[in-house]
Structure 1
Amino acid sequence: MSIIVWGIIACEVGFWVVMLLGLAARYLLRLQRLSTALLLSVPVIDVLLLTLIAWDLLANRAVADFAHGLGAVYLGFTVAFGHQLISTVDAHFAHRFGGGPAPTKRPKTGPAHVRYEWQQWLRALLAGAIASLVLGAIILLVGDPARTAELANWYPRIGLVLVIWLITGPLWDLVADVFRSREPSEQLSS
């Protein structure tokens, strides 16, 4: 396994460990400042991964492979979805250990569900844009198309994932919601 794959794994584990330590400090130990410091340090993990990718491609003069592109996509995902994920886990922690209210559940049907699915897809679009910008920046910094060809291959992959997400997420739910809203009126007219 490449150093980048190990870096992605370490960053994912680090994300969860730092987040859970931050929430444990807040709700179990009641150490608000430590909790805040830990939770604010979560983005540092992303910077470490970006540094590892840049170091491997620039200092090591490595040829970009699948893992380098995956690292950029991982960065986009954590930037776009990280805060939402931390807020969700925080709400569960607050309920379980801090006497807080039960976390709100995401809507399962209706216009609220369709709105939620659009919001999630827009986050995915943001993740794709961030990943694309990171890929483009790395390609420009390396300045050697022969060494960064694999990174350019990630653009259509990102686009394909976003199109599939759009079709199977918000568009599918929008159509399903329209058909669900028609059913009662059709039954009344029969």
Structure 2
Amino acid sequence: MNLVAWAIVTCEILFWVVIIAGLTARYIFKRNKLGLFFLAMTPVLDLILLVIAGMDLAKGASATTAHALAAIYISVSIVFGKSMISWADERFRYYVTKQGPLPPKRYGMEHAVYYFKSWLKHVLAYLLGAGILYGLITWINDPARTEALQNIITIWSVIVAIDLLISGSYFLWPRKAKNPVTRDL
């Protein structure tokens, strides 16, 4: 595995470490400012990853799938970061501190609309990530060195289309609440 791939793995691990540290500081130790500090570190990790990938390419490395994944990681983190932190926050409060409400389960049209909005965020992350990848392709200006970046854009385009089909299917076949299991005694 090359430096950029290790940087992605490290940043992903650190992303969850700082979120857990932030939530622990906030809810367990009642240190809101310290918790906010840890949560604010998540975009710093994105910046570090961007610098590592950019420096690797500037030194003449051929772009790899790892470089493309760095762009995806950064764009997904920017677009979904706040909602991922909120998701973790809800579950931490409920399951760890027993202080918050049960995280909601969505059904029917509420579920369909929620996942369609999530698809729209996916499109935004795609546009941002593809913009970064196209920027790298233009900057490097060597198709032989950037083939992996173009391939990832193509694959991601298909994934966004599949995600639309899945999200759209929830409008046609809405998710139904599971019936509680009853026993005849």
Same fold by TM-score, threshold 0.5 exceeded? yes
Partner of residue 40, structure 2: 40
Q: Which runs of no fewer than 5 residues in structure 1 stay unpaired? A: 181-190
Counterpart Cα distance in 1 of 2:83 and 2:102: 13
The answer to whether the aligner puts 1:56 opposite 2:53 as a matched pair is: no
Task: Give matches, 1:150-161, under 5 Å.
Answer: 150-161=148-159
Task: Give matches, 1:1-190, under 5 Å.
Answer: 1-58=1-58, 60-98=59-97, 100-107=99-106, 109-168=107-166, 170-177=167-174
Q: Letter of the 1:7 partner, please give it.
A: A
**Structure showing the higher helix proportion among its residues:** 1
Comparing 140-149 and 74-83, the one that deviates more: 140-149
CA contact (8 A) 2:62 2:146 kept: yes
Call closer, same or farther: CA 1:106–1:127 in 2, change over 3 Å. Answer: farther
CA contact (8 A) 2:94 2:103 kept: no
CA-based RMSD? 1.8
Counterpart Cα distance in 1 of 2:151 and 2:31: 46
| 1:8 CA drift (Å) | 0.7
Counterpart Cα distance in 1 of 2:54 and 2:22: 28
Aligned residues: 176
- Give per-residue Cα distances to partners, 1:31-84, cap 9 Å, x unaligned: 1111111111111101111111101000x2100111111111111221122211
Identity %: 31
| 1:147 CA drift (Å) | 1.7
Counterpart Cα distance in 2 of 1:175 and 1:38: 41
Counterpart Cα distance in 2 of 1:27 and 1:94: 7
| 1:101 CA drift (Å) | 2.7
Q: Which runs of no fewer than 5 residues in structure 2 stay unpaired? A: 177-185
TM-score scaled by length of structure 1? 0.85
CA contact (8 A) 2:119 2:164 kept: yes
| 1:99 CA drift (Å) | 5.4
| 1:154 CA drift (Å) | 1.8
TM-score scaled by length of structure 2? 0.88
Call closer, same or farther: CA 1:119–1:106 in 2, change over 3 Å. Answer: farther
- Give per-residue Cα distances to partners, 1:123-177, cap 9 Å, x unaligned: 1111111110111222223233332222122221111000111112x21111113
